[in-house]
């Protein structure tokens, strides 16, 4: 018998079954909760108050200040938070694999031929096309091609094609990552503004924007970190990664990679040996890589002689080309002639050959 003076909680007997509410009770509870919520919103509106009052909104700069002032975060956590903030402004087309680098399989390709092809490549998923690369109809997984049951009736890649997700290249990285995780897609085809295939992006590509590069046993060895001398980078490196790697930023323009910058500055298709001087670039203060032979000293103003312009600039040299694409680029410190130090190579947007940019008087 329970002591009448006890104030402790009542406990259910272990052998007593828990009573489940019936359909009527659940429906009645939902009505009560919704009515209470609606009445609360109505009273709040009548009083002129906002339902979100008290939820302060802070800018990205204020959030960065809070992170910088927090002493409980270690360097790795700070870097991840910074990558998340940066990724919030990144677009899918900046992190995708361009169509020129994608291995497509034709829908009518026999399975025997496809098996030989995928054994040579290092990918697990392959987009399937019905005609050109702009007509992607799905994708196939490596195991679908190599592990076929006995007596299987499938004879071509088209018989094994799965549905593939398509996203616009202008979509934000974080939004694409959330959507692909929710819909359980590992691969997506990136579509440009004209409806054509711009490339593909995987969950790994999107996650790498948050946590850094993820390398496995099939990836090529990463480029060595610059140690103060001339360095070499991949022409496909996007502008943000290039700036983080070498310590200075290239001028923005109608391009997304360092190879695109070289092509725009030259105004033609690059060839091995082409050189592009980069005077007055913005040096990144506090960067992990201070750049080849440079010290981090803040931004530099290429048009103001009183702005602390160093007599030295940077020189980008085309080391290798792959077809029409710049494959490898060398980055070195170079003492630039006076006219070149006073002006940055203009990015050509019209595709027409033209005169070299006139030097700005110092």
Per-residue pLDDT for the chain (362 aa), expressed as one digit of tens each? Answer: 445 444 444 444 445 555 556 677 777 777 777 777 776 776 666 656 665 655 567 777 777 788 788 888 888 888 778 877 777 778 899 889 999 889 999 999 999 899 999 998 888 999 999 999 999 999 999 998 888 877 777 789 999 999 999 999 999 998 999 999 999 999 999 999 999 999 999 998 888 887 777 766 666 665 555 555 568 899 988 888 888 888 888 988 888 899 999 999 999 999 999 999 987 555 554 433 444 444 333 333 333 333 333 446 789 999 999 888 899 999 988 765 555 444 445 444 444 444 444 544 44
CB 136 within 8 A of CB 157: no
pTM exceeds 0.75 for this model? no
Residue 336 has what pLDDT?
A: 53
Dist. CA 61–CA 66, nearest whole Å: 9
DSSP of 56-109: ----HHHHHHHHHH-SS--HHHHHHHHHHHHHTT-BGGGTSEEGGG---EETT-
H-state helical runs in the chain: 23-46, 60-69, 75-87, 111-120, 142-146, 173-182, 203-211, 239-246, 258-266, 338-341
- Helices 75-87 + 203-211 axis angle, to 10: 130
Dist. CA 69–CA 61, nearest whole Å: 12
Dist. CA 297–CA 278, nearest whole Å: 17
Strand partners, 335: 312
Provide the pairing of β-strand 136-141 with 248-249: unpaired
Residue 318 has what pLDDT?
A: 94
Residue 269 has what pLDDT?
A: 92
Q: Is 313 helix (H, G, I), strand (E, B) or coil?
A: strand
Residue in the structure block whose two tokens are 């002689």: 305
Q: Which string of b and e fits 256-289 if b means at least 16 CB within 10 Å? A: bbbbbbbbbbbbeebeeebebbbbbbbbbeebeb
The total of other beta-carbon atoms located within 10 Å of residue 114's CB is: 21
Residue 220 has what pLDDT?
A: 63
- Kindly state the tokens that stand for 308: 């602390």
Residue 354 has what pLDDT?
A: 44
Contacts of 262 (CB under 8 A, 6+ apart): 235, 270, 274, 276, 316, 318, 326, 329
Residue 34 has what pLDDT?
A: 76
Residue 303 has what pLDDT?
A: 37
Dist. CA 335–CA 313, nearest whole Å: 6
Provide the pairing of β-strand 97-98 with 197-202: antiparallel
CB 191 within 8 A of CB 176: no
CB 223 within 8 A of CB 235: no
Residue in the structure block whose two tokens are 């490196």: 237
Query: For the chain, what's the residue count?
Result: 362
Strand partners, 126: 140
Residue 186 has what pLDDT?
A: 94
3-state secondary structure 20-59: CCCHHHHHHHHHHHHHHHHHHHHHHHHCCCCCCCCCCCCC
Q: CA nearest 206: which of 296, 83, 319?
A: 83
């Amino acid at each position: 018998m329970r002591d009448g003076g006890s104030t402790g909680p009542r406990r259910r007997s272990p052998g007593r079954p828990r009573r489940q509410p019936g359909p009527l009770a659940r429906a009645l509870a939902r009505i009560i909760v919704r009515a209470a919520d609606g009445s609360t919103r109505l009273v709040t509106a009548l009083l002129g108050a906002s339902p979100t009052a008290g939820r302060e909104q802070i800018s990205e700069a204020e959030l960065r200040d809070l992170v910088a002032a927090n002493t409980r975060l270690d360097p790795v956590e700070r870097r991840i938070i910074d990558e998340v903030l940066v990724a919030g402004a990144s677009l899918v087309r900046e992190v995708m694999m361009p169509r020129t680098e994608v291995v497509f399989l034709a829908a009518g390709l026999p399975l025997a031929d496809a098996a030989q092809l995928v054994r040579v490549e290092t990918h697990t998923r392959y987009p399937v096309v019905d005609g050109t690369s702009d007509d992607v109809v799905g994708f196939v997984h490596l195991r679908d091609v190599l592990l076929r049951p006995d007596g299987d009736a499938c004879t071509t890649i088209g018989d094994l094609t799965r549905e593939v997700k398509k996203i616009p290249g202008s979509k934000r990285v974080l939004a694409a990552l959330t959507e692909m995780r929710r819909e359980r897609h590992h691969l997506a085809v990136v579509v440009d503004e004209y409806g054509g295939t711009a490339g593909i992006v995987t969950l790994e590509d999107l996650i790498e924007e948050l946590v850094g590069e993820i390398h496995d046993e099939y990836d090529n060895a990463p480029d060595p970190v610059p140690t103060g001398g001339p360095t070499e980078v991949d022409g496909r490196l996007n502008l943000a990664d290039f700036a983080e790697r070498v310590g200075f930023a290239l001028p923005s323009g109608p391009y997304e990679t360092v190879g695109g910058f070289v092509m725009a500055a030259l105004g033609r298709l690059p060839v091995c040996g082409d050189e592009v001087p980069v005077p007055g670039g913005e040096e990144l203060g506090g960067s992990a890589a201070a750049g080849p032979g440079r010290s981090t000293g803040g931004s530099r103003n290429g048009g103001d002689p009183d702005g602390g312009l160093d007599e030295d600039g940077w020189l980008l040299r085309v080391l290798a080309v792959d077809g029409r694409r710049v494959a490898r680029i060398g980055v070195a410190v170079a003492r630039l002639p006076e006219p070149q130090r006073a002006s940055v190579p203009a990015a050509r947007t019209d595709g027409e050959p033209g005169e070299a940019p006139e030097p700005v008087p110092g």
